[in-house]
Amino acid sequence: MCPALAPGLASGAEVLPVPEPADGPDQQPGYGIGALARRLGVAPATLRDWERRYGIGPGGRSAGGHRRYQPEDIARIGHMRKLVLDGVPPAEAARVALASETAAGPAAGEQDLAAWGAGGRSLPLPGRLPQARGLARAALALDGPAIAGMLERSLDASGVVATWERLAVPVLTAVGERSAANGTCIDAEHLLSAQLIAALAARVGRLAEPRNARTVLLACADGEQHSLPLYALAAALAERGVRTTMLGARTPPPVLAGAISRIGPAAAFVWSQTAATGDPAQLDHIPRQRPPLRLFAVGPGWLGVPPGVRTVRSLPEAVQQACEAVGVA
C-alpha cells in the first residue's frame, strides 16, 4: 500500500502556487489567497485567521484590497507550518517564523509547500515529544509528505530505535485507540503505517556492505498481518550493518521451516500481535541445523513458547539478541 503522490512530486518538479490571473485593473503580481489555499490544502479561513491572530500573512494588497502573497510571505507561512507540524504552538511558531531570517528567502517557503495539509485536529499525547504531536496532526490531516519529512528528520537525527519508541509507537497507539473507540482514524492509521514502512524500508535498502555472513530471518506468525514492527527491527539492524531477510505477513509454518532450511539464518524472529495468531505449536517443527539457529518469539500475542525458543519484548532487546547471534558488536 502506498500513498498517492501530489502532482509534480513524482518527477521532482517544484510545487508552487499558481498565480491568479491578472483579470482586473487592481490585479498585481503575487498569489491570491484562493490559489494559495487550494495548493496548500488548507481553508482560506485558516490563512485569514493566522493573519488576524498572529500577524503572519501577505505583505501587501492590491488596489482593490485583495491579499497578494509574495515569495517572502510564502516562505514565512511555510516556516510556521513546519513548526506547527513539529508540535510548536501556533502563536510561538508564528513568532519564530516572523523573527527567523532563515525563512526570509523563497526557497524556504517553496521547500515546505508540499508538506502542508488540512491540519486542525489533534490526538491526546500527554507527556510526549512535540514532534509526536506534530506527527499525529499530520496523520489526522492525511498529509503524507509531512509525515515522510518528519520521519526522515527523526531517523537522521535520532536513529531507528528512538524514532520508533518516541514517535511511531505513541502516535500509532493513540490513532489505534481512537479507531477502536469510535471507528474513525482508520485512514490515518493506514497512511501512517504505510509511510513508516516506506521510511524504514528505505533505511534497509541503504545497507551496501553487511557485516554478517548469515542473515537474520524476519517473519510474522501464521495469519498475522501486522508486519510493521519487523520493518522497524530490520531498519534498526541495518543501522548496525546487519543484513536481514524479510518474509513479512502471514507466514505459514511450512513456509517458515522451508526458508530456514534453504538459507540457514543465524537467527529468526517470528512476530505475533494478538493471541489469535500466537499459537506456540507453529514453532514446534522448526528444522534443526548446524550452526544452530537462535529462534525468537516476538510480540505480545504469544501464548507461551516451546522449549528452546526465546521471547523478546522490546525493539532494543531484539536488536541486541540479533547482533549477538550474528557476532556483530
- pLDDT at residue 240 in the model: 97
**Which residues of the chain are in CATH 3.40.50.280 domains?**
210-326
C-alpha cell of residue 135: 506527527
* CATH code, 130-204: 1.10.1240.10
Q: Which residues of 121-136 are buried (b: 16+ CB within 10 A; e: fewer)?
A: eebebeebbebbbbbb
User: Among residues 271, 274, 276, 270, which one has the least CA distance to residue 301?
Assistant: 274
- pLDDT at residue 103 in the model: 39
Neighbours of 115 (CB within 10 A): 20
* CATH code, 33-109: 1.10.1660.10
**DSSP line for 181-218:** HHS--HHHHHHHHHHHHHHHHHHHHT--S-S-SS-EEE
**Which residues of the chain are in CATH 1.10.1660.10 domains?**
33-109
Point out the residues of the chain with pLDDT beneath 50.
1-27, 101-120
Judge: domain 210-326, CATH 3.30.70.1140.
no
Average model confidence (pLDDT) across the chain: 81
**Which residues of the chain are in CATH 1.10.1240.10 domains?**
130-204
Partners of 217 in the beta sheet? 245, 268
- pLDDT at residue 13 in the model: 30
CA distances, 315 to each of 121, 142, 199 (Å): 30, 27, 17
- pLDDT at residue 100 in the model: 65
